[in-house]
Amino acid sequence: MKPIQVGLLGIGTVGSGVFNVLQRNQAEIMRRAGRGIEVAMVADLDTARAQQVVGSQAQVVNDARAVIANPEIDIVIELIGGYGIARQLVMEAIEAGKHVVTANKALLAVHGTEIFAAAHKKGVMVAFEAAVAGGIPIIKALREGLTANRLQWLAGIINGTTNFILSEMRDKGLDFAVVLKEAQRLGYAETDPTFDIEGVDAAHKATIMSAIAFGIPVQFDKAYVEGITQLAAQDIRYAEQLGYRIKLLGITKRTDKGIELRVHPSLVPAKRLLANVEGAMNAVMVHGDAVGTTLYYGKGAGSEPTASAVIADLVDITRLHTSDPAHRVPHLAFQPDQMSDQPVLPMAEVVTSYYLRLRVADQTGVLAEVTGLLAGAGISIDAVLQREAGEGEKQTDLIILTHDAREGTMNEVLARLQALPTVLAPITRIRKEELA
C-alpha cells in the first residue's frame, strides 16, 4: 500500500524532530500503522535550513499553501504556531479535505470551536496530542483511556519553564528575577518569556484539557490566569516550613455551579507526587469517579518528545482516515451534539483555601485584629506562622493558612486587611490545593 503522504508546515525544533523520528523508526511505525507514513513536502521560509534537514527525502517549498494545494498530500502538520497565519492555513487545509495534526495550543484554545466544527462538517480529523504536555499522552488518556469515568478534576504542571524557575527558587533560595535570567541563559526560557511566566501558555493547555474532560466548548476567554512573577523566595521558604511546595498549576474542576478553569501558583502538600515534579518536567493528575486519581508524567517540550506525540497522531489518522467519520473518536471526546452548556465559573465564585503573607507592625494586638477580620467574614484559620522580629526590627511576617473560602469573600477581606495601618506592605495571597 502506498505510504500516506504528509505535508509539514514549519521545520524548526519540533518539525525537524518529527522528520528525524519518522525516518529513524519508520519500520516500527509502519508495523503499528499498517502502512508507511512519508513526509513528502515541507514548507518553511528558511528553505536552506529545511533542505539541510530533509536532504533529498522531501520537496521543500517556501509557500505553505503549495502544500495544501497538492492533491497528493493526505495530512497537513501545522507547526508554525500563533493565532494568525496558522489559523488561516489550518482552515484552508480542512476545506481542502486534508486531515490536520497540530501542536498549536494557542490556536486551539482560542479558535478550537470553529476549527473542530469545520473539520466535523468536512469529515476530516484534527489531531492535537502534541498541543498539551509535549510527549505525555494526556489527550489520548482523557479522550479514550478514561472514557468510562465521570471526571471530577484535573490539575497539571503543564509549563516546563515556570516549573524550572520554581524548582531553582526552592533549591537555591533565589528570587524570581535572578532565576529567570538563568533560565534564559540555559535556554529554558524564551527571550520574551511572557506567555510562560504570566501563565498564558499553561492556560491554553488547561482550556483544551477542560473541554475534553467535561465536554464543554473551548473557552480560553473564561479562564482565570495568574503567573509567577510576583512570587518571592520567602514565600517558597515559608511554604516549605508549613509542609508545602509552590507550583504553577492548571486546574479544572466540575462543581454543582459549573466548571472551574484557572491557572495560578498553588501550595501543594509536599507529600503529593505532583509537588515532587522538578525542573522542566510536566505532570498531570486526573481524578475520575471509577478509576480514582491517575498521574501522567514526562517531558513537556523538546524536539523529539513533542515529535513523539505528533507521530502518534499521524499513526491514528493513518489507521482511521478511511473509516466512517461517525465511528471516529470525537475531537473533544463527547459527540458534537452532546456537548454540555455548563458555564465556566467566574473566579469570584471559586471555593478554595489560601496562604496569606502579611508584613505587619510588630506590636500587640495585630494578630487578633487580623484573625478577627477573617472570622467576621466566616473564614476559618488552619495554621498561623509568625516570624520573630529581629533585633531592632519593628515589623515582621505573619503567615496564615485558611480553610476553604469563596474567592469573592476573600477579596473583600483582603481589601479590609490591606487598609489596616498595621499592615505595612501589599499582602501576598496564594491559593492552596490539597489534591486529595
Residue 311: Cβ-neighbour burial (10 angstroms; 0-12, 13-18, 19+): buried
Query: b/e for 164-202, b at 16 or more Cβ within 10 A?
Result: bbbbbbbeeebebeebbeebeeeebbeeebebbbbbbbb
CA distance 45 to 268: 44
CA distance 355 to 432: 7
Q: Which residues are paired to 61 by β-bridges? A: 43
Tell me the H-state helices in 321-376: 366-376
Q: Give yes or no for a contact between 282 and 247, defined as CB atoms under 8 angstroms apart.
A: no
CA distance 98 to 119: 9
Q: Give yes or no for a contact between 58 and 34, defined as CB atoms under 8 angstroms apart.
A: no
- Identify the DSSP state of 180: H
CA distance 339 to 332: 9
Catalytic residue among 205, 222, 253, 432: 205
Q: Give yes or no for a contact between 235 and 247, defined as CB atoms under 8 angstroms apart.
A: no
For every residue of 369-382, DSSP letters joined together read HHHHHHHHTTPPEE
CA dihedral 287, 290, 292, 296 (to 10 degrees): -60
How many Cα atoms within 13 Å fall on the side-chain side of residue 286? Answer: 26
CA–CA distance from 58 to each of 294, 307, 400 (Å)? 41, 18, 61
CA distance 296 to 154: 11
* 205 among known catalytic residues: yes
CA–CA distance from 250 to each of 38, 171, 187, 365 (Å)? 36, 23, 23, 38
Residues recognised as catalytic:
205
